DNA sequence: GTTGTTGCAAAGCGTTTGCAGAAGA
DNA sequence: TCTTCTGCAAACGCTTTGCAACAAC
């Protein structure tokens, strides 16, 4: 049983952070953060992904708790949320000029700046060539935090 | 700036495109595309934004029609949809390095290849720096047609 | 024992869809 | 006329929340 391995490296900092705010360490919270820890950096999961991953193991955590815990872990700084704050799709005119559209988006306020970049076009073309694709369009989305929101 | 003409400049190409597919030019469709045209390139709106903007004028278009029309205009190539990879919120460990998940997607069959590119990371970082953003992540989406579908 | 947390189910919110009436071609 | 399109309202999927039982401290 994997439960015997109490050596989760995240337990201590998590517990400490929780107790500072009068919150409690629960198996559910530990399991969720531990999942991200095991997957390692750079892997991002949706709430549903987390739910599925935990179901594959022997641990079930309700979706409601997953949503609550993800928000908590983001607030505590353990996780980062990758998404436009005021989520939702945006539309804009497709100008015939640029088939090449690059956006710098603030994940807090949604502010968007456009920019162009030759190296990006080149890299997109190179990737297409390498896999035998005919290139149609490439779009670079850069997510970050703008000066006002920092 | 261009002189404002009484006839909307988008009417002709829109009508032509619609008729090619046996579709019809309606005031609603014209109003929506015209709104984007008046705002100009680079301005992006959500469906709700479009709804509000049209309510401010004297023209009301139902939200359902706006959603349908936005999708239509994207399919026809008049508008571009700015949304990050696969919709929905994603979470990842805070300690994560700036990921560069770059995708090469076939628009026919949906086949997806992942690749990495230093120049893209550099370009994303440069754009963030230039606008004073703290970089979190950059994603390059390259759309094309794969060898099998060609 | 006290109080924060969970799971369930119901509510919310943005988006999509079925349908009958309205309107382009 | 013949279809397509619109508006309404209901449906839908994802996320949040109220509440009673439960568990960490």
B5 compared with A100, residue with greater pLDDT: A100
- Answer whether B47 sits within 8 Å of A89, measured CB to CB: yes
- Cβ atoms of B115 and B99 closer than 8 Å: no
Over residues B69-73, the mean pLDDT reads: 90
A105 compared with A42, residue with greater pLDDT: A105
CA A60 to chain CA centroid, nearest Å = 22
Strands (E), B15-73: none
Per-residue pLDDT band for A116 (boundaries 50, 70, 90) equals confident
pLDDT at B85 (0 to 100) = 40
- Answer whether B46 sits within 8 Å of A90, measured CB to CB: yes
Structure tokens that stand for A41 in this block: 């950096």
pTM above 0.85, yes or no: no
B65 Cβ nearer than 7 Å to chain D strand: yes
Per-residue pLDDT band for A66 (boundaries 50, 70, 90) equals very high
pLDDT 10s digits, A81-102 = 765 434 445 666 555 444 566 7
| H or E, element range at B66 | helix B63-76
- Cβ atoms of B95 and A116 closer than 8 Å: no
pLDDT at A27 (0 to 100) = 95
pLDDT at B76 (0 to 100) = 85
A85 Cβ nearer than 7 Å to chain C strand: no
Say which DSSP state A98 is in.
-
- Cβ atoms of B144 and A133 closer than 8 Å: yes
B18 contacts: CB under 8 Å, gap ≥ 6: B24, B25, B29, B76
CA B28 to chain CA centroid, nearest Å = 19
Considering chain A, what percentage of its residues have pLDDT values greater than 70?
A: 76
pLDDT at B1 (0 to 100) = 37
């Amino acid at each position: 049983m994997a439960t015997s391995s109490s050596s989760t490296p995240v337990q201590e900092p998590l517990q400490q952070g929780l107790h500072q705010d009068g919150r409690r360490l629960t198996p559910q919270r530990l399991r969720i953060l531990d999942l991200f820890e095991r997957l390692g950096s750079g892997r991002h999961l949706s709430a549903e992904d987390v739910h599925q991953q935990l179901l594959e193991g022997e641990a079930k955590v309700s979706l409601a708790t997953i949503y609550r815990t993800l928000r908590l872990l983001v607030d505590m700084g353990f996780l980062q949320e990758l998404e436009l704050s005021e989520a939702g799709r945006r539309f804009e005119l497709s100008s015939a000029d640029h088939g090449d559209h690059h956006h710098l988006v603030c994940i807090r306020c949604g502010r968007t700046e456009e920019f162009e970049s030759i190296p990006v076009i080149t890299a997109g073309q190179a990737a297409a060539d390498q896999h035998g694709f005919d290139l149609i369009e490439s779009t670079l989305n850069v997510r970050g935090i703008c000066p006002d929101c920092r």
